Structure formats: C-alpha cells, structure tokens
Amino acid sequence: MAAHLKKRVYEEFTKVVQQQHEDLSSKKLRLTKPSKSAALHVDLCKATSPADALQYLLQFARKPVEVESVEGVVRILLEHYYKENDASVRLKIASLLGLLSKTAGFSPDCIMDDAINTLQNEKSHQVLAQLLDTLLVIGTKLTDNPAVRMRLVDVACKHLTDSSHGVRNKCLQLIGCLGPVEKGVAKDVESQAAKDVQKIIGDHFNDQDPRVRTAAIKAMLQLHERGLKLQQAIYSQACKLLADDYEQVRSAAVQLIWVLSQLYPESIVPIPSSNEEIRLVDDAFGKICHMVSDGSWVVRVQAAKLLGSMQQVSSHFLEQTLDKKLMSDLRRKRTAHERAKELYSSGEFSSGRKWGDDAPKEEVDTGAVNLIESGACGAFVHGLEDEMYEVRIAAVEALCMLAQSSPSFAEKCLDFLVDMFNDEIEEVRLQSIHTMRKISHNITLREDQLDTVLAVLEDSSRDIREALHELLCCTNVSTKEGIHLALVELLKNLTKYPTDRESIWKCLKFLGSRHPTLVLPLVPELLSTHPFFDTPEPDMDDPAYIAVLVLIFNAAKSCPTMPALFSDHTFRHYAYLRDSLSHLVPPLRLPGRKLVSSPVSPNITPHEDPSQQFLHQSLERVYNLQHLDSQGIQELLEFTIRDLQRLGELQSELAGMADFTATYLQCQLLLIKALQEKLWNVAAPLYLKQNALASAAAKQILEETYKMEFMYSGVESSQVVIIHHMRLQAKALQLIVTARTTRGVEPLFGMCEKFLQEVDSFQRCFISELPHMQGSFVDKLLDLMPRLVTSKPSEVVKILQTTLRQSTFLHLPLPEQLHRATANIIEPTGESDNPLRFTSGLVVALDVDATLEHVQDPQGTVKVQVLYPDGQAQIIHPKPADFRNPGPGRHRLITQVYLSHTAWTEPCQIEVRLLLAYNSNRSKASAKMPKSTWSENLEALPQSENGIEGTIPFSKPVKVYIMPKPARR
C-alpha cells in the first residue's frame, strides 16, 4: 500500500519530461500516403446523411494533411460543398478549407477563386461568416500580394451590408487585417471599395449590433498596428463610443482613443459647451480618466492601464488625477494627507486625537463645486479605492509609470502609494512597494510617511518585508530622526523575524552609505558610548549589534570624522566584521591602520585594473605558444590554470572570465595529455590504461564544454564556435579510442558517419566564423573532407588522429561581460541535527530557498535535485511562480520540494542541490538558424537527432536529515 502511495505521490509531484516531438514525428511519417484525398472522397460519397458526412469530416480534421495533397483534398471538399444541402456540413467544410490553407508550405492562391465563388451563392449566414474567415486565413498567407488582398477586401466590403452580425463582424476583421496600409497603392487600384478603408470601417462605428461595433474598432486598431496612420477625424467618433451601452465596445473605444492620443498629441480639440480648446492628449487623458469610474471593471482595468503610458499629458492635468476636493456640509475640508503635511511642517507630530481635528473650515461656494468633473479629477483616487484588486494594481502600475517620468508628480503621489501599503490584498501591497522603489530616486520621504512605511515591516509575509528592505535601500530620508526611526523599526523586525537577518543588514548597509551626515550625530547614542565612563562591551554575535555596526561603518566610509567617536572594542569588532562579513563592511581608513585593499601605484591608470592586466598577460603568454606537446608547456598551462582559478576566487568581478578561460585551458590540457604520442605507440595489449585515460579525458572535456556553453551568461558566438570546436575534438578523440578498442568494423561505420555529419553541421552553423580558424582541427578536417567521405573507417580514424595532433591551439577571445551562473541554497541550512520525521509512503514538504545569479530563463532551466542515500535521485521542476526577480541578473527561488521514501531504520541525510538543465538543441548556435516550426525543424536540423539534454549541478549540495517512519498498522 505504501509503495503504491509513494508511486502516486511521485506521479503527482514530479513532472515527467515528455518526448512528444518524436511521437508526433513518427506519426507524421505514417501519414505520408498519397491516397488521403481519395479516401476522403470515398468517405464523403458513402455518407448517407448530413450527420454521417459531418462525422467523417470531423475525423478527417483530426489528422494533418501533407503539403502535396492539400490541393486535391480541397478540390474534393469543394465538389462536395456544392452538392451539400445541409448548412452544418457546409460550415464544417468551410472551416476545413481554412485549416487546410494554413498548412505550411502550401500556397493557397489556387483555391482563392473557388472560395470567393462559393461566397456568391451561399445563403446561410453562419457559413458565410465561416467562408470569410477562411478567406482571412488565405489572405494572411498571401500578404505580399496586394492584388489578392485588394480583391478580398472588395469581397468583404460587398458583404458588409449583410443582415447577420457574424458576417459583418468577419468582414470588418478581414478589412482590418488585409486593408491597404500604404496610401499609394490604394490609388492605382480601381476598386472604389478599397479606397478609403478607414471610412468604411468608421461607418460601422454606429452599427446597431454591439459586436459589430466592437469588431469595427478592433479592425481600426488592427490597421493601426499594421502601420496605417489613423485619421484624426475618428477621434470625435471614438469619444461618442465611450458612452456605449456595452462594455466590450467601451473597452475597445478606450484603446482607440489612447492610440489616437499617441498619434496626435499636440493637435487642438475644442471643449464642447465652451469656447476653449485643449491639446488632444489632454482631452483624451481626461476622457480615459473618466472611464476609471466606469460601471464595468474590465473597462476600468483597461483605462487604468492605459493611463500609465500617456506621458505627454500636461502636468496640470496629471496632478488633477490625485485631486479630490473634500467637503462636509458644504464646507471645504482638508484631506488627511494635507493635514498630515501641515502638522509636519508646523513642527508638531500628528496627533489626530482631537475630535473635530478634521472639522471643516471655510464655506464652499455652492456654484463652484463641480461634482462630476469633466477632466481627470481624482481618477487615481478612485482607481486606488476600487473594489476589484485588478483595477487597483493597474492603477498602481500606471502611477509608477507616470511618476517615473515626472518628478513633481512622484512627489505628489507618494501619499497615495504609502496608503496602498495597507491594502487588503498582498499582491497590491507588494506592487505598491515595488513601485515606490522604482520612483525612489525622485522622492524624499517625510517623517510621517516613513512612519507608515516602516509600520509594514511587521508584516508576516516575507515577500513584503523583503520588498520593503529593498525599498529602504534606495530611499532618501530627510532627517536624523528618520534614520533612527528606520533603525529602530528594522531592529524590531529583526527580533520578530530573525530569518530576515541578511536582508536587514544589507538594507542598513545602503541606508548608512546614503546618509553619512545623518548617521553621524546618532553614533554615540547607537554605540552607547559615554564621554567619561567605559560602557560594557556588547556581544559580538548579537545580530542587532552587527546591524548597528553595519550602519555605522558604511556611514563612516564617507565621513572621516566618525571613527574618532568609536571606542576601542569598536575597532576590534570592525576588524572581525571586515573579515567575516566583507560584503557588508567596507574598507575604512582608520587611524593607525593601513588601508588593506588598495595599494594604488601611480603608474597604473585607474580604469586599468591590475588584476585584469594580470589576466590578460597570462593569457597572452599561453596564446603565444603554437604547439603544446612539450613537457614545459604543459606545466605552464597547469600553472596558468591554477593562477586563473585563484584570481577568480580573489576578484569576484573577474570570476566569470577567469573561470571560463581556466576551464578552456583545462580542456586543452586534457586533450594534449590524451594525445601524447608516447602512449599511443604502446603495443596493443597495453592499450588498456591509455584507453581509460583517453576516454575519461574525452568525457570530461565534453562535460566541461557544456558547462562553458550553458553556465555563463554573456557568451557570444565567437566563444560558442570555439566551445563547439573543442567538443568536436573531444568527439574525435572518443571515436579514435573506440576504434582502437572495438573489434570488427560494423559499429565503426555508424560512428564515423555520425561524426562526419557533425562536422558538416558544425560547418553549416558557423560558416561565418570559419575564416578565423586557420590551421585549426576543423579547418584541416574540412580540407580533407572529400577524402574522408570516401575512405574506410580505419583510415578515417588514422587521419583524425594525425590532424588532432597537428592542429593548432585556438585562441579564446574574451567577451566584455561574462558571468558564471551561481546558486546558493539559503534554506535548508544543513545544520539541523533534528531529523525531519514523517510517515513512510506519505510526503513531507521541504522548504527550499535559494538565490540564483546570472541565470538566464531560470523558470525553464533550474531544477532541484534530491539524492537519497540509496542512490535514488529525483529531479523536481519548480513552478514558474516560485521564481522572484528582485533585481537584474538575480533571481530567488522559494519553493517546496516534496520528499517521500519507504521506511528507514534510522535517520539519514539526503542531498538537495540545484541543477541547470540544458538542451544542446536550444543552444546558442542553433538559435541563430531561422526560426521554424517543429515540423520543419525535424527535416531541417539533422543535429537535433543527437541533441543532448543534460544537467549541470551548479550549487553546493545541502544535506538534510530525514527519517521516514514506518506506517502504523
């Protein structure tokens, strides 16, 4: 039972990678029978009733049809179409026509005439609509033929007067997708219909059916997307549509107005019922703002989203969006925001404790109060208070975008953003914190605002707290009280949630380095030093004390007077922290102490880093070598590799580059060693040792090349070619080794052929790079290619061996930026001695928290591997939602891994590690090939057959103590 359960668990929680492509391809091969159309014909003739025919057609539609027989099938379908009386069958045939003309490689112009002809006699509206849809498919396949497009548009225009909304809908869609975009073309063509597509579509803005109205607006938008410049005259029409009864019409109209406002921002439109005129973008902005209080939330979301991208709007209008005149019993009242600001500026802290504190003051002129403003008034106030969180999020996003482009607006919207920190939905809170971070360079927080912001630090959600720490890293605080407040709240947070340690320290580091002058007066208080008395030395391991020190040391970096305030133990603690937490504590110029890290010698220009120079020098030394056979050179290589590795450890910014080159040199070294002549001349019975060495080397080189290709971000094609070249050499080595160990020739045939294919595909992929590879292995190989193809395997092996040995050593050019993907598992820590107990056969969830750096597309590539003590390994694909993106190049994986096992007698450790999955098909080399659908891919890319999927472990394994207990019976 338990085993069964476990199996089920695995089925549910581990995703199986399905090799569906191969399945489909094999099916496809089977289908290549020419009798397809004939079979269909027979089937259709056999059909006695429309229902039967429909069944046949449905079955037929399930299988793909190969390109050659499409036309035949179409003919048969059409023939049957004319005979058919039942509308539903005709409908299905029409839809099949569309489906068939989508077939890749088939040019549908031959069936266009027939399709248009069928339109003429069709009575059923549904079939008509379907036929138009088919024409649309045909038209989109033949976009480069203007005459065809014109003809189709003509046909569509003719059917625009149809009484069915479905037909009109399709006609408009067709005109939108195929209507002429260039002005010039339209003039030569005689058809009057195609002359002014915009007018034709515009006429249908007043259609009686809302679906047709929507389709008309959508068609207009489609034209815009295809590059047609819409006329400004449409604007007034679109404005009328904003008051439509149907939400989809309003939603589309909002989009149209937005498009027009981006096209003609500066043109002037009159305000109805007055003589004034305003800029179109302002008018449109006002109208879209109005839609933020629409009755339908779909429209509200749409409107709120679009507001964000209207950056040309004048600031006067923009600031209105946050304006809401309050009043109580007809007297003007100040908003809470205004009151807070006033209290703050008058020097008093917000009391808010008096009743009538908010008592209304001045009388309002009843005539002047405008309850429904025509303009943008209060749009965001409404949007942020909306019932649906979708609208609120959209509003926050829009605020963010507008504030980024306008500092004064950023200052104004601050109060509202801060208010959003208390939203009931976590997503909204998070979004507003992120928004605030994005605009933080434009703003300085007032103390009362900071107070509200800091209150959120107690939130129980980790995401919220961390987002808030990120925010604090880059906020400007105006007073020393603010800094003190922030520190106190952060320490409170630290005691409540000790796991936030790292994040809080980091936050304080930035807070300190940004506000050195504000921290300075706080130092004595923070360190609790006393002018006369010695105070007890604080505990060095207290995270809160470390937090305070991080703040102070970072502030001291740009404030040289600060160290004078430190007491003796502070200096000692500095030395300790500088070593143990070097990423948080900066080097300080302390009295009586040498600055450790920068012995700056004057003759080096500042941007020429000595370590970078060292890297280049040592590489140059290596690259000057031509042949690498001698013992001394091997030693040189070994030393260089060692140097590079050490350099990578010391200089984190050069780590990527140093490791990358070291790996490359390592591969080269392995290759040389494996090819040493002495060993190969040994008599046959002594091959054994040599074989083992060489095949191990080849295997390792292969592995390393995959690492080089997939683990580094910033690798360019000039590196990829060298990596692939190295891999090719390794494969050649493999071939040689196999040739020497296996008896008989048959297996070799296949291998040789495969190898030659690989050489071929290498040549095709990197044809542009070949000129740079003079004298290399592949260069020589390609010269010998005609000979290789014709010769026997044994000869091929011999040739390979000599070329391998004679080929020159290729230089690896270094790209600008190269980063190695790294992962660090924060949780589980692997320190716990308490085993995780659970009943065998059931599952236990293990929380995994890891940071990833420089991983491209982590959702697709990062996996979690769990290794059980019995050698069983399990790979888990985390959900895409488990990855957060806190900053560029950084990712955070917070996921749960489900563990299960049969009962153990005693607790044991399992290993958890992260893997980077790769697929050589998706490599950077093949990405350069023109993109093609999978069906073409199969024929076009021979290399995909030997595409290798694999994984690279890229984090240190973490041990977790677990104990599956036997289930109680």
Nearer CB in complex with another protein: 372/881: 372
Nearer CB in complex with another protein: 86/358: 358
d(CA 64, CA 102): 11
What one-letter code names the amino acid at 780?
Answer: K
d(CA 377, CA 314): 14
Closest separation in Å from C-beta 201 to another protein: 17
Q: Which residues bind another protein (CB under 8 A)?
A: 161, 163, 206, 208, 245, 293, 295, 324-330, 333, 335-337, 352-353, 355-356, 366, 369-372, 378, 381, 384-389, 416, 419-420, 422-425, 452, 455, 458-461, 496
d(CA 664, CA 721): 13
Nearer CB in complex with another protein: 147/359: 359
Closest separation in Å from C-beta 486 to another protein: 17
Closest separation in Å from C-beta 85 to another protein: 22
What one-letter code names the amino acid at 917?
Answer: A
Nearer CB in complex with another protein: 390/470: 390
820 beta partners? 712
Closest separation in Å from C-beta 294 to another protein: 9
d(CA 900, CA 841): 6
Strand ranges (DSSP E) for 319-427? Answer: 326-328, 331-333
Closest separation in Å from C-beta 337 to another protein: 7
Cis preceding linkage at 793, omega within 30: no
Nearer CB in complex with another protein: 336/520: 336
3-state secondary structure of 346: coil
Contact 769, 717 (CB under 8 A): yes
Nearer CB in complex with another protein: 160/522: 160
Nearer CB in complex with another protein: 329/579: 329
Contact 172, 222 (CB under 8 A): no
Nearer CB in complex with another protein: 161/192: 161
847 beta partners? 896
Nearer CB in complex with another protein: 382/725: 382
Nearer CB in complex with another protein: 1/881: 881
Nearer CB in complex with another protein: 45/369: 369
d(CA 34, CA 44): 17
The shares of helix, strand and coil residues in the chain, as percent rounded to the nearest 5, are 60, 10, 30
The greatest distance separating any two alpha carbons of the chain, rounded to the nearest whole angstrom, comes to: 110
CB atoms closer than 10 angstroms to residue 313: 27
Closest separation in Å from C-beta 390 to another protein: 9
Nearer CB in complex with another protein: 75/337: 337
Nearer CB in complex with another protein: 434/699: 434
In DSSP notation, 216-279 reads HHHHHHHHHHTTPPPPTTHHHHHHHHTT-SSHHHHHHHHHHHHHHHHHSTT-EEEPTTSS-EEE
Nearer CB in complex with another protein: 246/687: 246
Closest separation in Å from C-beta 156 to another protein: 17
The rounded Cα 605 to chain-centroid distance in angstroms is 39
CB atoms closer than 10 angstroms to residue 203: 12
Residue 808 is classified by DSSP as P
Torsion sign (Cα): 482, 487, 488, 492? positive
246: phi then psi, degrees, rounded to nearest 5: -105, 135
Contact 318, 405 (CB under 8 A): no
CB atoms closer than 10 angstroms to residue 270: 12
CB atoms closer than 10 angstroms to residue 178: 28
Beta strand pairing status for 958-965 and 836-839? parallel
User: Could you tell me which of 256, 221, 229 has the C-alpha nearest to residue 241?
Assistant: 256
Closest separation in Å from C-beta 413 to another protein: 13
What SS3 string covers 642-678?
Answer: HHHHHHHHHCHHHHHHHHHHHHHHHHHHHHHHHCCHH
Nearer CB in complex with another protein: 375/516: 375
Contact 674, 694 (CB under 8 A): yes
Closest separation in Å from C-beta 372 to another protein: 5
Nearer CB in complex with another protein: 492/501: 492
The rounded Cα 961 to chain-centroid distance in angstroms is 35
Closest separation in Å from C-beta 560 to another protein: 39
Residue 642 burial by CB count (10 A; 0-12/13-18/19+): exposed, middle or buried?
exposed
Nearer CB in complex with another protein: 58/455: 455
Closest separation in Å from C-beta 575 to another protein: 37
278 beta partners? 269
Nearer CB in complex with another protein: 41/333: 333
d(CA 542, CA 574): 14
d(CA 420, CA 524): 36
Closest separation in Å from C-beta 458 to another protein: 4
What SS3 string covers 443-488?
Answer: CEECHHHHHHHHHHHHCCCHHHHHHHHHHHHCCEECCHHHHHHHHH
Closest separation in Å from C-beta 714 to another protein: 41
d(CA 738, CA 794): 11
Question: Residue 401: which residues within 8 A CB-CB, separation 6 or more?
Answer: 308, 309, 311
